Each structure stands twice: as structure tokens, then as C-alpha cells.
Amino acid sequence: MTTKQERDEYIIIVGCGRLGSHLARLLSKARKSVVVIDKNEYAFHRLSNDFSGFTLEADAIEIDSLLRAKIDKADVVVATTDDDNTNVMIAQIAKTIYHVPKVIARLFEPSRQQIYEQLDIETLCPTILSAEALRNNIIGEETEDLK
């Protein structure tokens, strides 16, 4: 039986902003094979010196760019750009065309989460996570998720 740790070996991160670069560092430190895609070559300066993965300056919504990143071999694709539409498009391509086992899209606008869920796309919304963490810190208990 394959464990989750064995399965999640090849990871593509789209977007090398604060979130994407930090995630890339953490995954690289965990000895995962990581490729980071960003349209802006300067964004790769955010990667730490100990990042052992690869970078690809490209537009990830172009199929050729995803093929160069070997999306057909990916176990995980994470879309972390600062644009919800770009993230959902990349997530849909990864999930429906390349059948990537785990696809996660960063979501800025909480009101769009239901749409993503209807498309069966796993999301992570920093706004919702931050609001829940702040609420828990203020009132000291966990209650129903904010949506």
C-alpha cells in the first residue's frame, strides 16, 4: 500500500509570491521534488538559498508551460497566484485534463468558495483561515466555519 508521503513526491507550485515561495521552501526542506512556475523571473528571488527544486519562467495557463513542468507526472499542483481566476483555471486544467491526484487553489475572495466546491476544486482561502484564527484567539473557542 502506498502511503501519502510516498505518493506526494512531485509537486508543481504556480506562483512564486510570498505564499508560493514559502511553500516551495517547506516542501523542498521535506525533500519533495518541487517545480515553481511564475511569469516573472524576478519572483524567484523570493526562494531561499536552500531551495533544491526547479524554477520555470512561464505562463502556467499555457498548456506548453505545464507540459514543460511535466504536469503529467505531478502528484500535486498548487495554484498560489494573486488571481482567483488564474488559480481556478490552472486547477481545472490539472484536475480534468491531466488527472493530477491532488489539486489545491488559493482563493482570495471567500464568496467564490462555493463555486470552486461545485467544480470539485479544493481551495485554501487565507481570508477565511485568518478570520477563523482571529475569532478563535478572541473568543477562545472553535465554532462553525466562516463562509
| Assigned C-alpha cell, 47 | 526562494
Tell me the C-alpha distance between 54 and 36, whole Å.
Answer: 6
Q: Indicate the average pLDDT of the chain.
A: 89
Which pTM does this prediction carry? 0.86
Half-sphere exposure of 119 (CA within 13 A, CB side): 21
Catalogue the E-assigned strands of 28-87. Answer: 33-38, 54-57, 76-79
Architecture of domain 7-139: 3-Layer(aba) Sandwich (3.40)
Residue 117 pLDDT: 83
Which of 128, 121, 125 has its CA nearest to residue 144? 128
Question: Whole-angstrom Cα distance, residue 104 to residue 137?
Answer: 26
Q: Which is higher by pLDDT, 112 or 3?
A: 112
Q: Tell me: pLDDT of 35 over 70.
A: yes
Whether residue 34 contacts residue 48, with contact meaning beta carbons closer than 8 Å, is answered with no
User: Are 84 and 112 a contacting pair, CB within 8 Å?
Assistant: yes
Is the pLDDT score of 27 beyond 80? Answer: yes
Q: Is the pLDDT of residue 133 over 60?
A: yes
